[in-house]
Amino acid sequence: MKKASVLYVVFMSVVLSFYSCDKNETSDNNNTNGILPKSFSIDIPSSLSNNSTTKGLNEELNGNEVYKLMRAFVFVGDFSAEIIKAEITLLSAFNINKPMDLTYVSKEDNRQKHLVVVENASFEGKNYQYKLTISDGNDIGLQLYWNTNPVKGVSIIQGYNLNRSEPKNHNAKIRIDYSEAESKYQKQMEISIAGLDTNMIDKMDKLKMFVGKNNDVLDVYGDANIPAIKHILDPKHTGGYSWVFTARTNETLNISVAKVAIPQTTLASVDKIFETYSIFNVINNEIHAVYGNTIPQTIIDSYLKNTATPAYFNGTLGFISCGELPTGVVGFTSNFVDLSNLTPYVPNDVNNLTINFGN
């Protein structure tokens, strides 16, 4: 799993640097959101969303090592939602309570930005009460479409056009589809990231993730697209990998359960994806592809024992166990750990993901 360790370090050091919030106005604590949505994201507990590193053991794959990439990808989705949340908070400094048109100079890059708010806008065939756009010349940095009651909308950010002093990931965009108007969940959001630079090996270029919340329980599923990582062990492997996951987390108990698959990025179906492309099966197959039958299966099974599915986590230890239900931990009921009703995204769809601003 040495390859995955390298992937993690490169991924975290680059992806998290692609965007910095545009603090173009000093926020006044007395400001209200006006007509801006008062919420536009869902916080994910640390048992599932985590960017810390761990060191694996030689005699077996450490559970935290195996699943840290999945938790890191969730963290990036969570972090991206926080960016949207921060931008809306910063926009409250403009006291937006009606349609408006103004220009200002960003303190981030000392460039002039143009902010426009209009009523009765449409995006992708849906109508919204309001639309807000911030642009740098002809280049859009932020668009927000929303309804106020119940809150529902879409936000898209291209960070480079909010802060031209940021040298990396000029084409990267984040999109959040947020709603408090659906029947299945009290709150839900879908996070999409596309356009990350791919000129470095072992780097995620796209991410799509869904979060649905009812009371203190969150359903999460997603797919991180990593086109440049050609193989984990087998050098004959061609094409990138996708990290595909479904998960459930309880924010009060800070516990989570998750399944992970690592198919090729071009896989066009999710049928039996967690069986065929489980971590165990993929690495087991690559070990045999590289070493044939020279390594006894009993040794391989022992080495991969922490790759069984599903995996269980809490906020204190991170990885607890996998396969069998953990003992002595409150909350892992049969209903909570049953992820059969969560269907992940098709890897090839995420591989072809694009994000576009509205007109």
The mean of the pLDDT values for the chain is 85
Answer for the pair 103, 92: CB distance below 8 angstroms, yes or no.
Answer: no
How far apart CA 358 and CA 333 sit, in angstroms, is: 44
Answer for the pair 341, 245: CB distance below 8 angstroms, yes or no.
Answer: no
Question: What does pTM read for this prediction?
Answer: 0.87
Q: Does 106 score more than 70 pLDDT?
A: yes
Contacts of 98 (CB under 8 A, 6+ apart): 35, 117
Residue 108: its pLDDT value, please? 86
Our CA angle for 229, 50, 204, nearest 5°, is: 20
Which residue ranges make up each domain of the chain? Answer: 2-351
- DSSP class per residue in 328-343: S-TT--HHHH--TT--
Query: Could you tell me the pLDDT band of residue 286, with boundaries at 50, 70 and 90?
Result: confident
- Which tens digit of pLDDT belongs to each residue from 170-217? 889 999 999 999 999 999 999 999 988 765 555 788 999 999 999 999
Angle between helices 63-91 and 2-15 (to 10 degrees): 10
Q: Does 239 score more than 90 pLDDT?
A: no
Lowest mean pLDDT among 222-226, 246-250, 325-329: 325-329
